[in-house]
Amino acid sequence: MTINDIQPELSEALSIVARQLNQAGPNWLLGGSCGLLLQGVTLDRPPRDMDVYADAEGIGKLHDVLSDHTLDKPAVDEEEMYLSIRGHYEVNEIPLELIGGFKIRVGGSVYTTEIDNLLYPAAPATVINGHSVHLMPLAHELVFNVLRDRPDRYLAISESIRLQPEAHRGILERMMGSYTFHAGHVALIRELTS
């Protein structure tokens, strides 16, 4: 099942976003429920919004090309365990969140999304209405959802990872070796991917 099968208006909005962001220059990745659906992860409900991740340095250029859809300017957003630069947009009535320099700190674990140096080179790509979209690797989605204690997401993601473990092992090992993770988080991630 594709996004177009479930929600053609979301597919159209994604193609608009991809066309514009691909012209901006900085690397970006589609994450969240849209990225999961496009990688075959079973979701309990269809995506209702778009989450676009980039390194903090690229947020300005990405914001500029989305200017026709702007609800607010990207600003530092710190709440509980999250720190990022966030901007909000609406494309064909579909909400979009632009997230830069995302960091999560919880229970002794600290993880930062590094798009250019780590995640983008491992990102699978797809084409939506003729426009290339790179997807947030499932390894990131697994770690992120373990850290925020979302078993509804991480169990479904782990099922997809187990279908092709070799496709995900390299990036997951790089992530596990690059950041600080509490022993409990490490044990759960290992259990979910073995």
Q: CA of 1: how far to CAs of 16, 69, 82, 143, in Å?
A: 21, 28, 32, 25
Residues in the chain: 194
- Which DSSP letter does residue 135 get? B
Average pLDDT over residues 168-184: 96
**CATH classification (class only), 3-137:** alpha beta
Q: How far apart are CA 161 and CA 167, in angstroms?
A: 8
Domain ranges of the chain: 3-137
The model's confidence at residue 1, banded by pLDDT at 50, 70 and 90, is very low
pLDDT digits (tens, 9 = 90+) for 23-52: 999 999 999 999 999 999 999 888 999 999
Q: Is the model's pLDDT at 4 over the cut of 90? A: no
CA-based angle 65:5:142, to the nearest 5? 70
pTM: 0.94
Average pLDDT, the chain: 94
Average pLDDT over residues 80-93: 96
CA-based angle 143:48:150, to the nearest 5? 25
